[in-house]
Amino acid sequence: MKANRLLLIAASATLLTAGAPLPAHADGLTLSMTAGTGWQASSPGGRIQTNVMVAPGFEILGPLLRFDAGFVADLPDIEASRFDVQVRPSLVIELPVLPIYGRVSAGVADLLHGPVSVAFGPSIGVRMGVGGVSLLAEVGYIPMVRSGDFESVIEARAGVAFGI
C-alpha cells in the first residue's frame, strides 16, 4: 500500500511539472524527470526500490546524440530499504525518423549508506512530444556490482522531458 502511494506521488509530481511554464530555453540544453522501478532477477530477487530521477543534459551532435547527468533518489518503499541516492551519467542516441531512442548508462549507487555500487547498462525507449515537451517511457537492463556481487536488474521508467 505504501509503495503504491509513493509511486502515485512521484508520477503525479512528474506529470504536474509537464504543465508548468517552461523556463528560458537555451539551444541544446535538456531536462528530463522520470520515475522508475523494476525487478532484480538475480538472487535474492524481487522488486527494486522506486526511484525518481532528474537528468539535465546537453546535445553533442544536435538531436542525434545527447549526454545526460541523472541524479536519482531511491525511495524507501520496500521492506528493509531506506532513502539513498545515485548518480547516473548516460549517452542517448535518438533516431531521426522514429520516436525511439537508445541509452547507455553508467553510474554509482548507494552513495549515502554504502557500500557504493557500480552500474552499467543499456536501455531502449520511446519519446513523443510537441514544442520541446515530451513524454517518455523506457526499459533497461542495468546490472550492478554491489559488495563484489553481480546483480541483474531490469528497470522501467516513465516521465517528461523538456528541450528535446
Residue 90 has pLDDT above 60, yes or no: yes
Q: Which of 3-7, 19-23, 140-144 has the highest mean pLDDT?
A: 140-144
Q: Can you give the pLDDT at residue 7?
A: 47
Spell out the residues 6+ positions from residue 64 whose beta carbon is closer than 8 angstroms to its own.
93, 94, 96
Q: Which of 7-11, 127-131, 140-144 has the lowest mean pLDDT?
A: 7-11
Average per-residue pLDDT in the chain?
87
pLDDT tens-digit map of 14-66: 444 444 444 444 579 999 999 999 999 988 889 999 999 999 999 999 889 99
Q: Can you give the pLDDT at residue 9?
A: 52
Q: Can you give the pLDDT at residue 26?
A: 59
d(CA 147, CA 136): 33
Q: Can you give the pLDDT at residue 4?
A: 54
d(CA 98, CA 128): 10
Q: Can you give the pLDDT at residue 22?
A: 43
Concatenating the DSSP letter of every residue in 25-51 gives: --TTEEEEEEEEEEEE-STT-EEPPPE
Q: Can you give the pLDDT at residue 18?
A: 44
Give percent above pLDDT 90 in the chain. Answer: 71
